[in-house]
Chains A and B, each alone.
Chain A
Amino acid sequence: MKVERRGSDAAAIFPSGKIDVTNSQDLKQALMELYDEGFNNITIDFSNVTTIDSSGLGKLLLFQKKLKERRGEIKVTNIKSEYIKKMFNLIHLGKVIKID
């Protein structure tokens, strides 16, 4: 999973394919590393993500909570999958996590 560090406070992660119970650990790992390094504003680029399940959602919510505790946040960008767009919309995820 590609990770870009942009300065001292911001970073971006580029997962691809499915984010589900079989590989959400990878996303968690990447987020954990950035979190431990002190990055507070992490963008997750969804341009290559096709689906996401409850374990993937759980990771997003977990790190949003952690980053919020130190005034940072997660931002989700470039959602290309119509399924993901619709799902996020229907469950009102935008109320909790910034989605561009």
Chain B
Amino acid sequence: MPGQDPATPASRQLQENLQHAIAQLEGLIDNTENYYGVIHESLPFIDRNLELTGQETNMLINYFIDSPRSGDSKETGEGQFLMAETLERIEANFKTISSYLLKRQEIDRLLEVFLDSGSEGVSFESFLNLVGETKKVLSDVGDISINAIIFSARLGDAGRGFGVISDYILQASTSLENELVEIDTLLNELLQWHHSLQSSIGTIDETQKKAENEYIRDLDKVFARVTESMRAISDILRNLVNNVHDTVSPFQELMALIQRQDIVRQNMENTIKCLHSVEEKYLKYLTLKEDQNNREAALNHIFFTTRALGLVQTLADNMAADLTKSLQDIMDTTSSLLAALEEVRDESGQLSRFLAGGQKEGQGNPDQGSSSAVDYSFHTIFNFMQELMAVLVEIKKQMETLSSDKKTFDKSMRRTELSMNNIAEQVAHLNKVKLLARIELARVGLQDNAMGEKIENVVAAIGNTLTENIKVFQDLKRSLSRDLQSFDRIIKDNQRKIDLAVTEADNSMERLRTTNEIVSQAIVALNREVENLHHEVASIFQRLQDAKPLEDSVHGLNQFIQNLLETAEAEKKLIMDRFELNSWEDSNDELESLFNYLTGYLERVKARDYMETEHLDAGSEEGDLTLF
């Protein structure tokens, strides 16, 4: 009746429920976006981190350990790997040291005068012989001293003058005997020193041979071994990084899967558009339903409403199936990815502990605690270097001892020179005594006596021998001192160079220790990145598992639309009954107009099938992947 509100509570409810369905769909769009956003936001970040980790690891390996071999040619300048460069430097330092170690032949050459016993020229032996000869000659003075005393006693009173002379001779003899004792002592000292020199040189030679044969000769082998070890380790690390990359390659699949979200959203938006049309038509229906003059229009509107709601239900079913499949695919892919990452994470953890630290001993020396493969590789060289340096320190000490022994030689030589000078003084004195003896013997008329002759001969012989010997002695002393000085200078100079080389090697060793630490830390860092990666994906998986509410919403919505359809059908029956109609032929045109809202291939196919029209173009399957 005119003026009466045409909408019954049930029909008004349908109008409200249509609005509610639209609101639900809009909420679903937001929730779906949030859900897909979990992956959408995280994946690029994860992808980038993975890329960076791979790059960092390769840089670490290339710079610190080993660059990819291309004919084993070494890189120069920037990019040269630190470990190889450091090892080269250490090796070069120690080979230099080897060249500074005086070889036995060299020592023998420098100390030829001290060591060569067969030489006829300047030698320590000839020096000792000379001193020995001097001793022998001087011993005759003792004889003539005794003879002079006896001679003087025999002469009686006449021999009193000669007694003074025999006293002089006795004094000289006593002094000379004292000097001879001193010379004996000095000779022994010098002999001992000489013996010690030979022994020291022998020891130095042995120690140097040890350095050469047990260490320096094996330098190449030891260093090559360490380099090989580190290369083996770097191969394992590269392999691990590659495995991580391969494991996470399904990320790309996920990226493709989340693109499905666009289609799902589009489907929902299209469904909303359809529902808006339904709402519009239904409102018109509500206005016209009681107007007999617009009976046809009202019937068309309600028929459109029911048929359109049927289409919406079909679309909603399609959308639900699509969304469910999409969610399932995402869950399945993420689940597999997570499982694979767990494997890689475990492997990475084990390898990290083994290579860089923390792995407990399986066998061998338990005192080594938790040393890693990297540590073992470096320790090989550290231990080798330390042992070699200990041998070099030993050589240095032996050289220092040799050098300080030189002082003993110098002191003994000075004292020998002093003795020789004292002897020369006494011999000069004896020359005067010889003169006095001649005078005295002439005075007592015994100038042709044998005693006088003996004194003359002995003093003359001593004088001649001593003059000659002192000169030779001076030459020998100069020569020996000079050679020893020269030797001392050379060994000190060489030792300085060796010390420098050892200091450089020490610095290089420090770099190597740093490299050791950095390599170990970087391996640990790589493992941490893998763990983080696993953690990220696990976190994503956890959030994705909250998909159930989303699925429930979709199914709830479908049910709601089903109820809408039933309500609309009931309303249609009501109006048909009121108009006493059993059937009504409505036009498909308006329904088909909804087809234009649809943009996805599958939804257009479903719509076309629902509308039972062949002339509507659903497009091609690729259309699903592009926005209309």
Contact = CB atoms under 8 A, between A and B. Distances in A.
Interface of A: 21, 25, 28, 53-55, 57-59, 61-62, 64-65, 68, 73-74, 86-87, 90-98
Contacts of B228: 90
A96 B354 contact: yes
A64 B354 CA distance: 11
A29 to B, nearest CB: 12
Contacts of A62: 346-347, 350
Contacts of A57: 236, 347, 350-351, 354
B175 interface: no
Nearest to B240: A54
Contacts of A86: 232
Contacts of A65: 350, 359-360
Contacts of A97: 362-363
Given A55-B343, A59-B347, 15 more contacts: A28-B343, A53-B243, A54-B347, A55-B347, A57-B236, A57-B347, A61-B351, A62-B350, A73-B362, A91-B355, A95-B368, A95-B371, A95-B373, A96-B354, A98-B363
Given A25-B343, A61-B354, A91 B362 contact: no
A91 B240 contact: no
A21 B246 contact: yes
A82 to B, nearest CB: 13
A40 B233 CA distance: 29
Interface size class of B (residues with CB under 8 A): 20 to 34
Nearest to A96: B362
B246 A54 contact: no
Contacts, number: 90
Given A25-B343, A68-B360, A98-B362, A93 B243 contact: no
A32 B32 CA distance: 40
The CB with the most chain B CB atoms within 10 A, among A28, A57, A61, A86, is that of A61
10 contacts: A54-B240, A55-B240, A55-B344, A57-B236, A64-B362, A91-B229, A95-B373, A95-B376, A96-B361, A97-B363
A78 to B, nearest CB: 18
A54 B243 contact: yes
A5 B38 CA distance: 48
B42 to A, nearest CB: 24
Given A54-B236, A54-B243, A61 B363 contact: no
A21 B346 CA distance: 13
Scoring B239, B360, B364, B371 by chain A CB atoms within 10 A of each residue's CB, the highest score goes to B239
Contact of B232 (A55, A87, A95): A87
Contacts of B368: 95
A70 B198 CA distance: 63
A93 B351 CA distance: 11
Contacts of A94: 363-364
A95 B364 contact: yes
Interface string B329-348: 00000000000000110111
B346 A58 contact: yes
Contacts of B362: 64, 68, 73-74, 95-98
Most chain A CB atoms below 10 A, which of B236, B247, B347: B347
Contacts of A25: 343
A91 B376 CA distance: 8
Contacts of A21: 243, 246-247
A92 B346 contact: no
Contacts of B359: 61, 65, 96
B19 interface: no
Contact of A54 (B239, B353, B361): B239
B469 interface: no
B239 A53 contact: yes
Contacts of B354: 57, 61, 93, 96
Contacts of A64: 362
A58 B354 CA distance: 9
Contacts of B243: 21, 53-55
Given A64-B362, A95-B362, A98-B362, A90 B232 contact: yes
B377 interface: yes
Contacts of B355: 91
A73 B246 CA distance: 31
Interface in B373-396: 373, 376-377
Contacts of B246: 21
Contacts of B351: 54, 57-58, 61
Given A96-B362, A97-B362, A91 B371 contact: no
Per CB-CB distance, the 5 closest pairs between chain A and chain B, nearest first, are A58-B347, A61-B350, A90-B232, A96-B362, A54-B240
A98 B363 CA distance: 6
Nearest to B365: A95
B567 to A, nearest CB: 56
A87 B36 CA distance: 46
Nearest to A59: B347
Given A21-B243, A25-B343, A97-B362, A92 B348 contact: no
A18 to B, nearest CB: 12
B550 to A, nearest CB: 33
